[in-house]
Copies of this chain bind each other. A is one copy, B any other.
Amino acid sequence: MTISLQELSGHVGAQLHGDPGLQVHGIATLQHAKPGDVSFFANPRYRKQLESTAASAVILAADALSFCPAAALVMDNPYLGFARAAAFFAPPQERSVGIHGTAWVSPDAIVHESAWVGPQASVAARARIGQDVLIGPGCVIGEDVVIGQATQLVARVTLCQGVRLGRRGLLHPGVVIGADGFGIANDSGVWVKVPQLGGVRIDDDVEIGANTTIDRGAIEDTVIEQGVKIDNQVQIGHNVRVGAHTAIAGCVAIAGSVRIGKRCAIGGAASIAGHLEIADDVYLTAASEVSKSITRRGIYSSGMPVQENQMWRKNIARFRHLDDLTRRLRRLEDHCGFTQDQD
């Protein structure tokens, strides 16, 4: 597939600096691009690669223009430009229709004639599978599940009883939606199960990464609002609500009854304790631990970056006495007649 830079710049929404008639036919990284390829520059870490790229054109922001040895497609958000260009060059998906011979569909389920149910998948009673839905190999669709138009389950996705998925969703292999939440009550040292009577509602345009789990609610539903993007191996407990257009990176652990606002970004391996509220537009950096509600937008962080082991051992040993250290400083200040306020 070949396109002129003029057409491509229109397609991605960039301003072209270079020969509008130049033809490009693929997308590549700065480092490995060849003439005829388009690349992109969105991370300053890769500036040397920009300066030496063999790409015919690079999507970049205006401030990088002077380092670019090729034609440039200039826009404020070059990563968005890359997304659009990649979508243009992506090969068309193979599209299947119908129910595979090895699949099992309950006679009480309703599967739209344009949908696909792949090999070894099963669809239980009263499930309703919408138009253009793809249910890949090995998926398990429970009783009373509803899947909205054009949603894709790549493979081996499990939707437990009653889960409702919106339209245009994309669920990757190993996802489990609607397993019981972790509800247990202690009865004289023995745990008693709290029946999990709620469901899960996933709104439109949600992507869910491989082996991510989203539990059903205890009484009411767990809810993932529109446009939320979730990476792999994320755990979302019962009765959590994730606000629209929030992004959650890999390996995040979200305990039960947490409410996350809209347009948040949760860094990888972060954890959020139960029953907390996170305001809209909160950005948590990777490996953050949230143990209190966050009521104001902003960037929040915790965690401890690695040091050389020997130095870390010394510092962490001191940390165990940090309260003591602070008290010693205060007493020394008093002794010296130099009492300072805390900043």
A67 located at the interface, meaning its Cβ lies under 8 Å from any Cβ of chain B in the complex: no
Please choose the segment from A3-11, A14-22, A177-185 that sits at the chain B interface, where 4 or more of its residues have CB less than 8 A away: A177-185
User: Cα distance A301–B340 when bound, in Å?
Assistant: 31
Chain copies in the assembled complex? 3
A residues 280-337 touching B (CB-CB < 8 Å): 284-292, 294, 298-329, 331-333, 335-336
Cα separation A269 to B312 with both chains bound (whole Å): 17
User: How far apart are the CA atoms of A315 and B321 in the complex, in Å?
Assistant: 7
Binary contact readout A69-82 vs B (1 if CB under 8 angstroms, 0 otherwise): 00000000101101
Query: Chain B contacts of A303 at CB under 8 A?
Result: 289, 291, 302, 304, 316
Known contacts A268-B271, A301-B313, A176 near B174 by CB under 8 Å: yes
8 Å CB contact of A197 from B27, B155, B326 = B27
**B158 pairs with A174, CB closer than 8 A:** yes
Q: Are the CB atoms of B333 and A336 closer together than 8 Å?
A: no
Can you list, as one digit per residue, whether each of A124-147 has a CB less than 8 Å from chain B (1) or not (0)?
Answer: 100000000000111010110000
Verify A176–B179 contact, CB threshold 8 A.
no
CB of A320 to closest CB in B, whole Å: 6
Residue of B nearest to A183 (CB): B83
A60-102 vs B, CB cutoff 8 Å, 1 = contact: the mask equals 0000000000000000010110111011011000100000111
Tell me the smallest distance from the CB of A324 to a CB of chain B, in Å.
4
Interface residues of A (CB under 8 A from B): 27-29, 32, 43, 45, 77, 79-80, 82-84, 86-87, 89-90, 94, 100-102, 104, 118-122, 124, 136-138, 140, 142-143, 154-156, 158, 160, 170, 172-174, 176, 179-180, 182-187, 189-195, 197, 207, 209-211, 213, 215, 218-220, 227, 229, 231-233, 235, 237, 245, 247, 249-251, 253, 255, 263, 268-269, 271, 273, 275, 284-292, 294, 298-329, 331-333, 335-336, 338, 340, 342-343
- Given A176-B210, A322-B322, 9 other A-B residues pairs in contact with their CB atoms under 8 A: A28-B219, A87-B195, A124-B137, A138-B138, A142-B155, A173-B179, A190-B245, A286-B291, A328-B342
A and B contact pairs by CB, cutoff 8 A, 30 listed: A27-B219, A45-B275, A77-B185, A77-B187, A80-B192, A82-B194, A86-B195, A86-B218, A86-B219, A101-B104, A138-B156, A156-B156, A158-B173, A172-B176, A172-B179, A182-B209, A182-B232, A190-B245, A191-B247, A193-B207, A210-B213, A250-B253, A269-B271, A290-B306, A298-B309, A302-B312, A318-B323, A318-B326, A321-B342, A324-B343
